Structure 1
């Protein structure tokens, strides 16, 4: 099966892609393009999958840059290929041609950024914690430090969990109300004391509040489409032992 790569006109002509799980070498619960080096999948199979991604991005595997994601608001600025231990951050930016920035997700938001005029790109992993703590704004600031202009930055949220599948408890809501009482608009009533959280709408709100020129979500739910996407929450509900990780990439 060939790779399936979702793209956005908003980021064109910059080379980018939100890769689905189709076209990979993994099997079993990881079936497809599992690119998670931290998963319990066979490391040699994950390496094959990552090589396929590098080939699709037209870079050497050493130029497929990734970070050790920790749900933080920290950003790494890449000046060349990352060697040795990966930085413990949740976003990566660069102005170096030929370097593909990558982010792994399995329900959280993969967000790709581009200022085509300045020649600066970024990629961020934005779960609820990172988004609440400011990872998206921090990415924009790191791009500005490389010469980008926020008014020229285009940001696209890739496949992530949608509101209908994201049930949370009252203590989760409290975290967001403490940051801003108006965040209540990103929650809908669920069963009992449960609420449904709209992660991509919240991500778009943070991006637009940060002043980026254009922002959109490509409207694919990871939880709802098991054939195309990995989902941490779906795996948890199914009581499976582990889950694959989707990869999203951008390069100049």
Structure 2
């Protein structure tokens, strides 16, 4: 089993996962409003820092592509980043969406992805994996950690949202058929809701199923045992507070190829 454990920086808690053998952290609301520049000093002061203007899409960029992008507020619009060089710190922000950090144990390269329900429906995590493969990664060498996010038991969505996301793993055009098939999966990502027009949706489980359908094994994936909505002492939740605050998650590519 992969362990999730708390670290401490100047009395402030952040989370790490044993599956990732890189400098990384899923930071808590206690670090708000520090920037990725500040947080990189916690992980690896020598690293260069990259972040995005997140737009709930499925675009994944490299630092080099960020440099060539049209910038809004000085930031490139995308929801995933992959490193190209050693010592690149890449960051994503989240409040209920899933922060996904990925590392390649052979090449040392890493990825950071912001996977909300829209990005998940558009398969952003498989997109990041495909980009890592285009840079030489083998699926067996990848390790994936999904950080704190809203848990399925409290994430109520409409049936059509569930079907839109479900279509990413169940190839069918009919909403009802997709939802039925999701309910029948072992360890189903869907839970019943008292309202017949709604369901409860586990977005992290959908992402795990997308990864497994690519041929990544369950042993290569770790999911944080924390729900942003149900852990107010550590995490912002947009659903709970309706405030535009975030926590940052980041990972630094290895100093040299592993």
Q: Establish whether residue 69 from structure 1 lines up as the match of residue 54 from structure 2.
A: yes
CA–CA separation in structure 2 for the residues paired with 1:177 and 1:121 = 27
Map 1:1-252 to 2 at 5 A: 2-12=11-21, 14-22=22-30, 24=31, 33-34=32-33, 48-59=34-45, 63-79=48-64, 85-179=74-168, 180=170, 181=178, 182-184=181-183, 185-193=188-196, 194-213=198-217, 214-236=220-242, 242-252=243-253
SS at match of 1:234: helix
SS at match of 2:61: strand
CA–CA separation in structure 1 for the residues paired with 2:84 and 2:167 = 36
Is the 1:122–1:250 Cα contact (8 Å) retained in structure 2? yes
Alpha-carbon offset, residue 173 of structure 1: 2.6
CA–CA separation in structure 2 for the residues paired with 1:89 and 1:57 = 23
Alpha-carbon offset, residue 51 of structure 1: 4.2
RMSD of the alignment, in Å? 2.1
Q: TM-score, normalised by structure 2?
A: 0.80
SS at match of 1:10: coil
SS at match of 1:68: coil
SS at match of 1:138: helix
Could you say which structure has the higher strand fraction? 2
CA–CA separation in structure 2 for the residues paired with 1:114 and 1:103 = 15
Alpha-carbon offset, residue 60 of structure 1: 5.9
- Alignment gaps of 5+ in structure 2: 1-9, 171-177, 254-258
CA–CA separation in structure 2 for the residues paired with 1:249 and 1:164 = 26
CA–CA separation in structure 2 for the residues paired with 1:80 and 1:4 = 33
Would the alpha carbon gap of residues 86 and 49 (structure 1) be closer, same or farther in structure 2, given more than 3 Å must change? closer
